[in-house]
Amino acid sequence: MVVLPHTAPDRARFTSADRDVDTRCPYASEVIDFVKGHGTENDFVLLPDADGALSLDADLVARLCDRRAGIGADGVLRVVRTAADDEARTLPGADATRWFMDYRNADGSLAEMCGNGIRVFARYLVDEGLEPPGDIAVLTRDGVKAVRVAADGDVTVDMGPAQLPGTDRKVVIGDHAWPAVEVATGNPHAVVFVDDLADPGELRSPPLVEPAYPDGANVEFVVRRGDRHVAMRVHERGVGETRSCGTGACAVMVATARADGTAPGATYVVDVPGGRLSVTERADGHLLLTGPAVLVARGETDL
């Protein structure tokens, strides 16, 4: 594996088309280009694949995300043109988008949406000159998301409205049990209010949720820091505890706002171990997630 500083130099070197005709390296067909990025330290391996040539499986994704034997990440973002991907072409909104965010959790499982990941995805499109700064429509398994990207600085994504099914659930860790608020923000979440963020202990294993979600869920533990200001920890399904979770921050904002009796139109600050996000609930219920998106390295790997 070769890792180079993230710059935007000789892009031709990193195109699949060039690899197909480059005979200088006998192993060129086995080399994968990647870019590493993060949003509030929720980190991702981005795989440029505009023409849909890559074939991903769970094993390859897990090896790329391995923090000791791979590149290391919370997930993989494959950057592919909507028209070039068989799955993308079947999704609602495909005709209105140019790019599909094929997101995989660190264990290789498919995910519907990733709030931090889509900001990093959009930052990559702008920094690589594939899209101009401004508004970008990105197709995900949770529908089309509108992302606003400045030339530099924070990125904002319209996450759509949240859903609160109202199911009575609880989260159990050891001898402790807490009532949980079920919130769907593209991914399923169980939001738990605790006295101290240390209360859940180490989140190496998935917390037990009762009754269980059919496909698992992210679990957020939340404390209040001030007026419309909270802090959280999260265990993400298929990953483990992460430094941040964008859909989780949105779920936490909604659960807290409902508990506070706050009407739509408010903005909450959500502190995560990897930084700070802000979430605004518009009058129409759509959630605007704003935070940093940073590209830190690029390279090639033969994993």
Residue 142 CB partners (closer than 8 Å, separation 6+): 112, 113, 160, 186, 187
| Whether 280 contacts 19, CB under 8 Å | no
Instruction: Give Cα 158 distance to the centre of its chain.
Output: 14
* 65 annotated active-site: no
* 25 annotated active-site: no
Q: Which strand (E) or helix (H) includes residue 192?
A: strand 188-193
Catalytic residue of the set 25, 65, 245, 250: 245
Catalytic residue of the set 25, 65, 114, 250: 114
How many angstroms separate the CA atoms of 100 and 77, rounded?
10
How many angstroms separate the CA atoms of 249 and 101, rounded?
20
| Whether 194 contacts 207, CB under 8 Å | no
Token pair 């965010």 in the structure block, residue: 101
Could you count the other beta carbons within 10 Å of the beta carbon of residue 37?
A: 27
Could you count the other beta carbons within 10 Å of the beta carbon of residue 204?
A: 8
Residue 1 CB partners (closer than 8 Å, separation 6+): 71, 299, 300, 301, 302, 303
Residue 156 CB partners (closer than 8 Å, separation 6+): 147, 148, 288, 289, 290
Token couple for 50: 């505009």
Q: Which of 247, 269, 262, 261 is nearest to 189 (CA)?
A: 247
Catalytic residue numbers read 114, 245
